[in-house]
Amino acid sequence: MLAPDYHFAVRRLRHHFIDAMTAHLDAVLDMPAFADPADQTRGAALRAATVGLHEVDAPDQDEDVPDLYFALQRELERDHGETVGLIRVGLSRNDLDMTVYKMHGRELLLTQARSLLGLRRSLLNRAEMHLETVIIANTHHQPGQPTTVAHYLAAVEAQVARDHERLVQALERLNRCPLGAAALAGTSHPLDRQRTASVLGFDGPVENTYDAVASADWELDLAAVASSIALGLGRFVVDLLGWASHGWYRLDDGLVQGSSIMPQKRNPVALEHARTRLSRVVGSAGLVAFSHHNIPFADLNDFGPDIQGALLVQHRQLMGALELVVACLEHGEFDEDGLKKAAALTDTTATELADVLAREAGLSFPAAHKLVAALVSKFQAEGRPLTTATPDDLVACGGPALSAETISAALDPLAFVSRRDGLGMPAKTAMATQLAAAGHRLAAAEEALQARDAAFDLATTRLRAGAAPISG
């Protein structure tokens, strides 16, 4: 019944178990009751052996000791006999397990964070390359207005950056240590919970000991963050698939697949696989929700051993999807020429013509809008693109006399973009400013993540070396 849990624990949780047991043993040996030199000596030997478990393979599962915690203890018993009991003073599987699951959860979050940063970097790099690549942006599935690939990609990056913020907030909320809660009511042994938390890299203990073992809302955060990332990126992937179907975005050969029957095929399967992985990430959030639903507020298997696998499934799908999206970005090309030709055939600069009529010919915007709409309608009936409009056409629709230059400048897609140079708009200079700012934000996020990583690594190194905890 518990074989999959054991297997999971061996593969993913073993080092966390050993570290948490080590930290707890230190807390036990710090108690006055074990100040006796003999106890300290035996305890130090046990500690060394516990740390030594990192280097040996995990024991196989045994019917008598169904979980890894007991299996590790049995390993230690061979040389240390009853001394091993020190580890169990004031410790329950309840607080130990939840601590270990949280250590694993923060590892997942950190891994995801690194991947998100890589994606953000790719998006900004690609944006830099397309400051003047005009693309017709759809609204409501219809050609809307010209903008640039840089503008679009920077918008995607901004969304991913918010997901990154969500992730960091989730990590900070998670990072409190349950140890010392024992079964739920704490313990009558005077264990120093602050110290244990600190040496394991936590920002402090979960204060209320019942809360420490009965709640696992950090799992909901993991699921929600992954789901938000997946829903956002899924929309980007839908666009890439759409552009690929027009030939406006072309993936490298390594990311496409042929057909067994249709010789002409070059299917962008990497994008399809990314889409379904993202769909599975969103679906996995449901797995987590159901595990927390309508159960008592108490220590239970539901959000303990039984859900860690689902969190890992979601993590892997997310990581796989992120990898594919980055690959599709790094190994794909926009067809600038094709995009340009397509832009010229649309009527998507109509807004600017109305703006010019409002600004330079004194029409109210609604009147200008109505005039241009009539013009577009007439041209469509005649099969003419709006970019061919002349001063006479405008007058014929009841409009004012504008110069040919004014009209053609208003209707040119690149000019449309260049005139939009306010905060966050696609004009080249505005975009350069925006990308520079985004680059700085990203660099700061990269530094913060490295600092987090380094702090966790340092805590682990010091713990295993038996160094004193860093005060504060």
Site for a copy of itself in 243-262 (CB under 8 A): 244-245, 257-262
Is residue 21 at the binding interface for a copy of itself, with CB under 8 A as the rule? Answer: no
Q: For residues 13 and 97, what is the distance between their CA atoms, to the nearest angstrom?
A: 10
Is residue 70 at the binding interface for a copy of itself, with CB under 8 A as the rule? Answer: yes
Of the residues 55, 64, 82, 382, which one makes contact with a copy of itself according to CB under 8 A: 82
Nearer to a copy of itself, 59 or 66 (CB): 66
Of the residues 12, 14, 114, 166, which one makes contact with a copy of itself according to CB under 8 A: 166
Residue labelled with tokens 């990072």: 175
Q: For residues 179 and 25, what is the distance between their CA atoms, to the nearest angstrom?
A: 11
Is residue 208 at the binding interface for a copy of itself, with CB under 8 A as the rule? Answer: yes
Q: Which of residues 284-323 bind a copy of itself (CB under 8 A)?
A: 284-302, 306-307, 310, 313
Beta bridge partners of 322: none
Q: For residues 470 and 472, what is the distance between their CA atoms, to the nearest angstrom?
A: 7
Is residue 394 at the binding interface for a copy of itself, with CB under 8 A as the rule? Answer: no
Of the residues 14, 15, 189, 464, which one makes contact with a copy of itself according to CB under 8 A: 189
DSSP assignment letter at 12 = I
Is residue 123 at the binding interface for a copy of itself, with CB under 8 A as the rule? Answer: no
Tokens describing residue 384 = 């003419």
| Residue 341 near residue 135, CB atoms below 8 Å | no
Q: Near a copy of itself by CB under 8 A, which window of 15-23, 99-107, 112-120, 163-171?
A: 163-171
For a copy of itself (CB under 8 A), the number of binding residues is 166
Q: For residues 448 and 9, what is the distance between their CA atoms, to the nearest angstrom?
A: 30
User: Distance of CA 38 to CAs 26, 29, 41, 123, 349, Å?
Assistant: 15, 11, 5, 61, 85
Of the residues 186, 338, 391, 400, which one makes contact with a copy of itself according to CB under 8 A: 186
Of the residues 40, 111, 169, 429, which one makes contact with a copy of itself according to CB under 8 A: 169
Comparing CA positions, the residue from 233, 240, 235 lying closest to residue 256 is 240
Beta carbon of residue 114, minimum distance to a copy of itself (angstroms, whole number): 20
DSSP assignment letter at 101 = H
Is residue 279 at the binding interface for a copy of itself, with CB under 8 A as the rule? Answer: yes
User: Distance of CA 309 to CAs 124, 171, 312, Å?
Assistant: 34, 19, 5
Is residue 99 at the binding interface for a copy of itself, with CB under 8 A as the rule? Answer: no
Beta carbon of residue 461, minimum distance to a copy of itself (angstroms, whole number): 27
Is residue 1 at the binding interface for a copy of itself, with CB under 8 A as the rule? Answer: yes
Q: Which of residues 30-59 bind a copy of itself (CB under 8 A)?
A: 33
DSSP assignment letter at 250 = E
Is residue 135 at the binding interface for a copy of itself, with CB under 8 A as the rule? Answer: no
- The contact mask relative to a copy of itself for 366-385 (x = CB under 8 A, - = no) is xx-xxxxx-xx---------
Q: Which of residues 419-438 bind a copy of itself (CB under 8 A)?
A: 419-420, 422-426, 434, 437
Q: Exposed, middle or buried by CB within 10 Å (0-12, 13-18, 19+), for 8? A: middle
Is residue 65 at the binding interface for a copy of itself, with CB under 8 A as the rule? Answer: no
Beta carbon of residue 86, minimum distance to a copy of itself (angstroms, whole number): 8
φ/ψ of residue 267, rounded to 5: -85, 130
Is residue 24 at the binding interface for a copy of itself, with CB under 8 A as the rule? Answer: no
Is residue 408 at the binding interface for a copy of itself, with CB under 8 A as the rule? Answer: no
User: Distance of CA 159 to CAs 62, 165, 255, 398, Å?
Assistant: 48, 10, 25, 44
| Residue 152 near residue 111, CB atoms below 8 Å | no
Q: Is 18 helix (H, G, I), strand (E, B) or coil?
A: helix
Is residue 181 at the binding interface for a copy of itself, with CB under 8 A as the rule? Answer: yes
